[in-house]
Each structure stands twice: as structure tokens, then as C-alpha cells.
Structure 1
Amino acid sequence: MYIGVETFQNLNFLPGLITLGSFMMPLTILIFFWEMNVPQNISIYKVIKILFGGGILSLVTAGLMYDNFSDSTSVIMIGIIEEVAKLLVILWFLKETKYKFIFNGLLIGAAVGAGFAAFESAGYALRVALLSDLDNMYSTIIWRGVLSPGGHIAWAALLGSAICIVKGGSNFRWSMLSDFRLLRILGIVIILHALWDVQWPGELPYAQIALTIISWIIALGIMNIALKEISSLKASQTMGMILPVDTGLITGHENSPRGI
């Protein structure tokens, strides 16, 4: 697509260049989360549906919220609006009881975040192409692609994992939104988002790179908890084959990783 635009000077390649450039890295990171979904109970077809549907819904939800706030230009307000918008959309997809594992929350959250990030990047690329020049557009696509793993995708994955930690295998109830574990993760991603949008000095995005590392340290910690959840479930199933059910070992929650 780049060769078509630059070498052949054919602008018919431009929409494809913007689309592929904006989706390439988010889709790659999303495939990683899909492969990390140890229960393997969500098909790639479902993931792609959530990528497009969730991405569009979260952007529209954020747009509606922006219209209802008089001050929506501060970095903290941007963080609140966009993260709450993604949270509401992720809740919609996770409301089914079959999505009860933390890995499910990570994957579905990442799918919504990847869609949000890709469509937003495409919008920024088009705006730069119209208002500036193609060189700046290429730079926008490249840098937003390089930094996308630590932005919306990681933050939305954390939100999805928090929802599954809170609800487990039960139906979602609105009262769960007051759970401290969910509010803590929401607060963290809002702060990360706000810091990301600060105009830091310097030509290179050192702050965003540091925030990417922080986001993934937290995400890897959640993945470790998710692995413990799967191991605990397997151990319970194994014990259930050799111990009476009324021992309480199967239904006990003393060592449940969800309480961490």
C-alpha cells in the first residue's frame, strides 16, 4: 500500500494503507490474548466480531459521553470518559455466565480495546493526511502502532479481567460496580490513560514507553492470577474424582485466586 501511494502516486491505495497500518499491531496483540485464553472457550470468529462491534460501540459511547460534559479536554476527564465507555461495552459482552474465567475477561477486554485503538488510529491518520502531509501521516501510523500494546488494548484487558474477577461464574449485577477490586483497576487505567495524554517534553515518547511497561507488568500479574485460577480448577476436578463431595474441598473458596 505504501508503494502504491509513494511510488505510483495513486491515492486509491491510501484508504487501505490507513486501515492496514492502523489495524496491524492491535490485531497482532489481540491474537496473543486469544492464544493466552487457556480455557479456549471463545472462537476467533467471536473475537473478530467483538473487535469490530466492541470497537465501534465503545467509540460511539465515548462520543456520547463527550457531548454531555462541558469540560472534556482535560487529560483526567478524557481518561475517565474513554475508560468508562470501554468498561460499559466490555460489561455487555461479559454479561453471559459462560465467560467466567479471568482469561476470558482479558481476551474480551483486549478485543474491545484493540477495536477502539485501531479505529481511533485510523481517524488520527486520516486527519493528519488531510491537515498536514503524508510523511506526518506515516509517522502517526507507525508510532501509534508501536505504542498500541501499552494503550487501549492493555487497559481494556485489565478492565475485562477485573470484571471476571468480581463476577466469576455468576450473572453480572450492577452492584458489582462498587466492588473495590473493580474500582481499583478502573482507577489505575484512568490514571495511566491521563498520564499517557500529558504533553511530555522531548521528541521521543519516553513517557508512553514507560507507561507501556507499567501496564504490562500489571497485565502479567493478572495473567499469573488467571493461571492460578485454572490450576485451582483442575486441582478441584482431580480431587473431586477421588474425594467425597461433602468434604468441602471442591466448593471451598479459602484459596481461590479471585480473592487476591
Structure 2
Amino acid sequence: MRAADPTPVRGRRAWLRILGTGLVLWLLTVVVTFLTGNPNLVPTLVLLGSFLVPVTFVAWAFGHRHSGEVTAELLLTTFITGGVLGVLGASLLETYLLHPSAGLFIGVGLVEEAVKLAALAVLTRRLTRKYALDGMILGAAVGFGFAAFESAGYAFTALFTEQGLSLMDLVQTEILRGLLAPVGHGLWTAILGGVLFSASDHRHFAFTRRLLLSYLGVSLLHALWDAMHGIALALTLLLTGTPRQFELLEQGYQPRPTPLQVNLFTVLSWGGLAVLAVIGVLWLVIERHTAARSERSAVFLRLPTIR
């Protein structure tokens, strides 16, 4: 039976205050950095922009935990330690196992989802009761931690361009990754976390065929997400490419796109990401409903029989 949630209603809404305060601080940092050009503010800008959405989720998740075993300490541990371990593990494996090829994005998806799942299992192995609803929250915490540290790296890299330091590129990168964060790493690892914690006895991890299939499915969503730019470009050329453009490509030149092609590419790339996001969200909703129904059934079976 679900333990009574000690978190007051105001505590559950703390994430709104964190989001609002963090957004104001980030905007102030952006304005002051542009006005002064002070490079010492860049780390503040990178950290605020990269961690705002992930930390907001952690605050929201703490107010929606299923059992009392999901403490603030455990949630922060999965977020920080899980995120760092995931980034480091993925970097090592991708460096030594993956090479530029047609299947690169598939490899990236398999590696990154595997290291996040492994980090989640290691950090939560001592939980005495493992509920699927808690697994989703803890899995998302690992995923958001991974996303936060990865976004910080992308934002820092975007700062350096051929024309010198570009604060505009840094800010645009943070905005884009912040908007997409809820339907990326956090979503995918939440799905895997729910399946990992779905054992009927609530005492062990569910290392089952369903977990393997879920891992492969999430890895595919991840791969398609990363490859969507190339997929949209290929589809645009296939649908609207001219003989002259294909001739230039064969000669090693980059043809100038037409206005129609620019618009079509934008629609295909963003439309593709939107479709993948919807699939991921629906998948998580189904997993959550399945877990809640399973828990209600278990509670019903434990009720004493009236004679």
C-alpha cells in the first residue's frame, strides 16, 4: 500500500518557485553578460541554463514520489552521481567502440541508454521496496542529470566559433536544449526505470525480456532523435532535389538550397522530433497507468477477507 506522503501541498509546488526564480536569474545573467562582456560570467550562464529545467524536475519529482524510500538524498544522488556516471561511461564507450558510420546513431543510443540504466540499477540496488512509479521518477532523475551535464558541455562548446566567442550561440543552444530536455534523456530513462522496477514482488529488479525490448525501443527513439537532422535533409533532397543539386553533391560541393527546401527541411526536422516526443510521452503514460493498475490490484489482494 502506498505510504502516506509527508510532503505538504506547498512543498509540492516548490518546483514552480525554483523554475521562476531560476529563469529570472538566468535572464539577468544573459543581460549582464551581453552588456559587460565579462567572461567570468560565462560559467554562471552555462550552469544556470543547463541545470534549470533538470533541477526543476527533481523538485517536482520529490513531491510526487510513490513511497517514503525515495528520499531527497536518494533523488539528488541519482541526479548528480547518475548523471556524471552516465556521461563518463558514455564518453568512454563511444570513444573506443563507435566510429563514424551509417549506424553511428544506433550505437550512441544503445550505449547511452545502457549506461544510464546501469547507473540507475547501481544507485538504487539497496531499496527494499521497488515500485514502478518510483522507478520512473528515479530513472528520470538519472536521465535529467545526464542531460544537464551534457547540455553544459554543448553550451560551452557552442561558445567557440570560427569568428571568436559567441554568447548568442551559447544562449541559443541553452534555450533549445532546455525546451527539448523534458522529452529527451529524462523521458527515455523514466520509461526504463519503470520497467526495471516492475517486478511483482517489489523486492528485485525485473531483468526480463520486457526490459530488454524496452531498452531496444528506447535506444531506437534516441537514435532517431539524434539522426533527425540527417533524416530530414535526406528526405528534403529526395522529395525536392534537382539534377543540378545531385550533380554538385557528387562532385563534393554543397548546393545552395531553395526557399522551398529550407521550409520543407524545417518542417520535417521539427515534425520528426515532435512525433518522437509524442511516442515517448504516450509510452510513459501507458507504463504509468500499467504500474498504477498493478499496484491497485496488489493492494486489493492484500485486503483482509470479510467472513
Note whether the superposition's TM-score is higher than 0.5. yes
Aligned to 1:191: 220
Identical amino acids, percent of aligned pairs: 28
Report which of the two structures shows the higher radius of gyration computed on alpha carbons: 2
Return structure 1 stretches of 4+ with deviation > 4 angstroms.
Answer: none
Aligned to 2:186: 153
Q: Where do residues 127-142 of structure 1 align in structure 2 (5 Å cutoff)?
A: 127-131=157-161, 133-142=166-175
| Structure 1 CA distance for aligned equivalents of residues 214 and 137 of structure 2 | 16
Q: Where do residues 78-157 of structure 1 align in structure 2 (5 Å cutoff)?
A: 78-131=108-161, 133-157=166-190
Give the deviation of 1:156 after TM superposition. Answer: 0.6
Residue 278 of structure 2 corresponds to residue 209 of structure 1: no
**TM-score normalised by L of structure 1:** 0.84
Deviating more after overlay: 36-45 vs 209-218: 36-45
Q: Which runs of 5+ in 2 are unaligned?
A: 1-28, 234-264
Contact 2:98 2:107 in 1 (8 A): no
Aligned to 2:70: 42
| Structure 1 CA distance for aligned equivalents of residues 95 and 43 of structure 2 | 28
**Cα RMSD, aligned residues only:** 2.1
Give the deviation of 1:119 after TM superposition. Answer: 0.3
Contact 2:140 2:190 in 1 (8 A): yes
Residue identity opposite 2:178 in structure 1: G
Secondary structure in 2 matching 1:191:
helix
Q: Which one of 223, 227, 235 corresponds to residue 292 of structure 2? A: 227
| Structure 2 CA distance for aligned equivalents of residues 95 and 168 of structure 1 | 15
| Structure 2 CA distance for aligned equivalents of residues 128 and 6 of structure 1 | 16
Deviating more after overlay: 218-227 vs 187-196: 218-227
Contact 1:114 1:152 in 2 (8 A): yes
Aligned to 2:87: 59
| Structure 1 CA distance for aligned equivalents of residues 187 and 171 of structure 2 | 24
Contact 2:50 2:151 in 1 (8 A): yes
Residue identity opposite 2:152 in structure 1: A
Aligned to 1:180: 209
Mark the CA change 1:49 to 1:120 in structure 2 (over 3 Å): closer, same or farther: same
Q: Which runs of 5+ in 1 are unaligned?
A: 245-260
Residue 45 of structure 2 corresponds to residue 17 of structure 1: yes
Give the deviation of 1:5 after TM superposition. Answer: 0.5
Residue identity opposite 1:232 in structure 2: S
Contact 2:61 2:137 in 1 (8 A): yes
Give the deviation of 1:209 after TM superposition. Answer: 2.2
Deviating more after overlay: 57-66 vs 189-198: 57-66
Give the deviation of 1:26 after TM superposition. Answer: 1.8
| Structure 1 CA distance for aligned equivalents of residues 216 and 41 of structure 2 | 41
| Structure 1 CA distance for aligned equivalents of residues 91 and 35 of structure 2 | 37
| Structure 1 CA distance for aligned equivalents of residues 100 and 185 of structure 2 | 18
Contact 1:18 1:125 in 2 (8 A): yes
Residue identity opposite 1:110 in structure 2: A
Residue identity opposite 2:83 in structure 1: G
Give the deviation of 1:97 after TM superposition. Answer: 4.3
Secondary structure in 1 matching 2:224:
helix
Mark the CA change 1:70 to 1:14 in structure 2 (over 3 Å): closer, same or farther: closer
Secondary structure in 1 matching 2:187:
helix
Secondary structure in 2 matching 1:38:
coil
Contact 2:130 2:204 in 1 (8 A): no
**TM-score normalised by L of structure 2:** 0.72
Contact 1:100 1:164 in 2 (8 A): yes
Give the deviation of 1:211 after TM superposition. Answer: 1.2
Contact 1:149 1:212 in 2 (8 A): no
Mark the CA change 1:158 to 1:70 in structure 2 (over 3 Å): closer, same or farther: closer
